[in-house]
A and B are shown apart, each in its own frame.
Chain A
Amino acid sequence: MKTCLKNCLKLVLNAFSKLDFIETLLFANSKLDTPEGIYYSGRHYIYSRSAFQKANLVGSIDEIVETIDDIVELYAKKCLFLRYRDKWEFIKPISLKEYFGENVHQAKAEDLNSFYSYCNTELKVYGTLERRGACSQAFDNALAPSSFNLGLGIMIEAVEELLNKFFHDNKIIFSNNELCELSAKRNLDWIQHKKLNDLISAVLMMAEAGLKQRGYGEEKYLKNVGRFF
């Protein structure tokens, strides 16, 4: 069966963004003692309090995208902070929409070559989708986050349905970024333990099923995932 990523792009972006807090819960292992308490994802803590956050260049996607135009609009809000004019120039972060829309920045189309964004789910210029995983350890578990995302990418329709049901049934009103913040602090006690456990088990089973469907035995990389739940 052939899938066109372009057709299911909104599905992929929406579902993976909702999955971000589970990914953090399962894989983040970069503990950081901060003035705001212990964070299990040091990367989340640092990124979410950095200038990158204000420039829309890190974190999860909070907006629900429905069309390709929505996706393009989402990217137009992201900021450019670097460009090349005989040498690299750092510029005050400015949204792509403003940079290319206002006729005062000497914008060139090739300035997009120096556009960098580090969100958890990103479209790349190679025609690919990038998932930025949580910092996880140890070495023998290094491929688990990639396998997890790959397997779920194949089962993305079922994943979205499962997540939508979970969000609806549990009346979750937090944004995806807020959920990541709570997850990074392991502050999810407000969700019934069994319900969260069931969700994680179901997601892991879907990831495994997706990998089995590919037929390369990649599901072996998931064998130790979720052992603490």
Chain B
Amino acid sequence: MKITDLLYEVLISHIRSFSNSKMKVGVELEYPIVHKQAKNIEKNIIENLFKELLKAGFKCFF
């Protein structure tokens, strides 16, 4: 099995043409939440985080 052929198939062959205005963008945001005293995070902190995200313009899909 030749790795160069395999990598070409997996990584390069699927790349398509696109127009600048129609280029789709996916954004992954990570928010690690850690308690300073190494305790479990309280539920309201997570809820408030999501409220802040909504205020910042994020929308729920469901």
* Partner-B contacts on A (CB < 8 A): 1-6, 9, 68-69, 71-73, 75-76, 96-97, 99-101, 107, 109, 112, 123-128, 139-140, 142-143, 146, 150, 153-154, 210, 213-216
Contact = CB atoms under 8 A, between A and B. Distances in A.
Contact of A146 (B1, B16, B27): B27
Q: Which 8 A-B pairs have the closest CB atoms?
A: A127-B14, A100-B3, A123-B11, A4-B17, A6-B15, A146-B27, A140-B56, A139-B56
Contacts of A126: 14
A19 B39 CA distance: 39
Interface residues of B, number: 26
A76 B19 CA distance: 30
Interface string B11-37: 110111111110101110100000000
Given A3-B18, A127-B16, A75 B56 contact: no
Contact of B1 (A6, A75, A107, A214): A107
A92 to B, nearest CB: 18
Chain A residues touching B, majority SS: helix
Contacts, number: 87
Given A6-B15, A213-B21, A112 B56 contact: no
Contact of B52 (A99, A109, A112, A139): A139
Contacts of B2: 100
Nearest to A132: B28
19 contacts: A3-B19, A3-B20, A5-B15, A6-B12, A9-B12, A72-B11, A96-B3, A100-B2, A100-B3, A100-B6, A109-B6, A126-B14, A128-B15, A139-B52, A139-B56, A142-B53, A150-B23, A154-B20, A215-B21
A150 B26 CA distance: 10
B53 A139 contact: yes
B38 interface: no
Contacts of B56: 139-140, 142
A185 B5 CA distance: 40
